[in-house]
Structure 1
Amino acid sequence: MTQEALPLYLQIANELRRNISDAIYQLGDQLPTEAELSARFGVNRHTLRRAIEILRHEGLVRIDRGRGTFVASAPITYPIGKRVRYNEALKAQGLKVSRKLLHLAEIPADPSLAKRLELPVGSSLILLELLSFADDRPISVGTSYFPAARFPHFADQWGQYQSISRLLQQEYGCDHIRRSTRISARMVQPNDAKLLELPLNAPILLTESINVDQQEQVIEYGVTRFRGDRMELVFENEII
């Protein structure tokens, strides 16, 4: 079937797909508005939306409600394995990984945190909150809690490493092993939306993890909010 014989929405999808392939619209670029594209192709918005939906299904574009349609990147794969190796997993995909410290403090353990970390209520905890980037684009906000008695001078050491696993290993001789991870889909909260550069109604992937050392003692409870449009979480066989 020739291009001209195809339904209009397929012709539009093919044309936009070529535009992306030819780098007329590059990764991260916003496509013209629905009104502009409808005028360009001489169609109504319903026809245009059918074309855009094809490209969205193919993973070529993403739709940020309230913002527009953007050329999408392939999802970043984060393997959920026995050991926690966040930086290494992303660097292995050719990504530049960086982190911004949002919060580092000592807090008392409330009943919920104490239960997860298997500590008495009121125990001193280290709170570490980080905004993570891949190729300078925000991908996750992570909040971790550690027993302060187990990791003295943690705050003084953090700036030298920027990696939780390397810090625990090199300063405390402590392995960083995943005991469990729970994943759920949520709508982004206002503060995280600002940090992750997402609209308020965007979906995120939320993980809750319990991590232990080589003696099976709990050393970390972590909650991470990933951009749902950029991250793909994959469980490895070793922890299934």
Structure 2
Amino acid sequence: MAVYLNIATQLRDEIHTQYAAGDLLPSEHQLAKRFNVNRHTVRRAVDELVQDGLIRRFQGLGNQVVSTPIDYALDNPSCFTYNLSKKGLPLDTVVLGCKAETLNPLLAEKLDLALDTPVVVIKTCRCIDNKPSTLIRHHLFNVDIEQMQRFASGSLHQFLHKHYGYEATRGNTRLRARMPTFDECRQLAMGRGIPVMEIHSRYYLKQTSHLMEYAISISRSDIFEYSVEP
């Protein structure tokens, strides 16, 4: 095995056992001295760790260990609070807005619904350990605005179950990666260099198979790792 790969393997093991998220690795000069190699060899080893997503380079700061991504399973049932509460993560929901609308032409065509279909749109920011991680735009059908304006925290699907008896099942889900807008960077407290994952999800009522919700979520890609079950 090449020398730089041996160094990368050893550093990878040390990151998993001796470092926490936010810690800095020793400088490349220190690592070169430790392993008795030149800095070019160390840099190639560090490149391997960057590609693995274990560290991130910061100009003037050094090589910083990043947090382990949260495994987010896009299975059924699957919604934000349900998925992450199973992992014991401290979650908060901040409601950014709630209003009654009618579907715009593009979304109506995508969902095969009439243009005048009433919908309640709720915008939320989901926080993990008091840090913003995901923005969600919920399009809710067959609900009334007065009731939904009472939603203030916790799981939206639990709220719908409590007040309407709704039970949802996940339908079609589409994912794409893109760079964030300035406003998304501000709301998610992130830099422009970190991509986001945009996920479009459909949820249907178990009782009738009617569309209950169309959700568009924008999540920091450095926080989540998505898995899809067959």
Settle same-fold status: TM greater than 0.5: yes
AA at the equivalent of 1:230: I
Paired residues of 1:13 and 1:54 also in contact (CA < 8 A): no
| 1:165 and 2:165 aligned | no
- Note the residue ranges of structure 1 that are not aligned, 5 or more in a row: none
Identity rate, percent: 24
C-alpha displacement of 1:38: 4.0
**How far apart are the structure 1 equivalents of 2:42 and 2:179?**
27
C-alpha displacement of 1:222: 0.9
TM-score by length of 1: 0.77
C-alpha displacement of 1:109: 1.7
AA at the equivalent of 2:221: G
| 1:146 and 2:140 aligned | yes
Paired residues of 1:9 and 1:47 also in contact (CA < 8 A): no
**How far apart are the structure 1 equivalents of 2:188 and 2:92?**
14
Matches within 5 A, 1:164-203: 164-203=156-195
- Which of the numbers 129, 136, 147 marks the counterpart of 2:130? 136
C-alpha displacement of 1:88: 2.4
C-alpha displacement of 1:13: 7.4
AA at the equivalent of 2:50: R
Other-structure match for 1:234: 227
Partner secondary structure for residue 167 of structure 1: helix
Root-mean-square deviation over aligned CA pairs: 3.2
Other-structure match for 2:45: 51
- Which of the numbers 32, 37, 41 marks the counterpart of 2:27? 37
Partner secondary structure for residue 109 of structure 2: helix
Question: Quick check: 199-208 or 116-125, which moved more?
Answer: 116-125
Paired residues of 1:79 and 1:235 also in contact (CA < 8 A): yes
- Which of the numbers 60, 68, 78 marks the counterpart of 1:84? 78
AA at the equivalent of 1:162: G
C-alpha displacement of 1:186: 1.5
The verdict on how the C-alpha distance between 1:17 and 1:136 changes in structure 2, with shifts beyond 3 A counting, is: farther
C-alpha displacement of 1:167: 0.9
The verdict on how the C-alpha distance between 1:44 and 1:186 changes in structure 2, with shifts beyond 3 A counting, is: farther
The verdict on how the C-alpha distance between 1:209 and 1:17 changes in structure 2, with shifts beyond 3 A counting, is: same
C-alpha displacement of 1:201: 3.1
C-alpha displacement of 1:180: 0.8
In the comparison of the two structures, how many residue pairs are matched?
225
**How far apart are the structure 2 equivalents of 1:45 and 1:131?**
43
C-alpha displacement of 1:68: 6.6
**How far apart are the structure 2 equivalents of 1:45 and 1:193?**
35
The verdict on how the C-alpha distance between 1:83 and 1:64 changes in structure 2, with shifts beyond 3 A counting, is: farther
Paired residues of 2:28 and 2:43 also in contact (CA < 8 A): no
Deviations 1:136-186 (A, max 9, x none): 333211111113x53342333302x52111011110011121121011121
Paired residues of 1:27 and 1:72 also in contact (CA < 8 A): yes
- Which of the numbers 100, 104, 111 marks the counterpart of 2:105? 111
Partner secondary structure for residue 88 of structure 2: coil
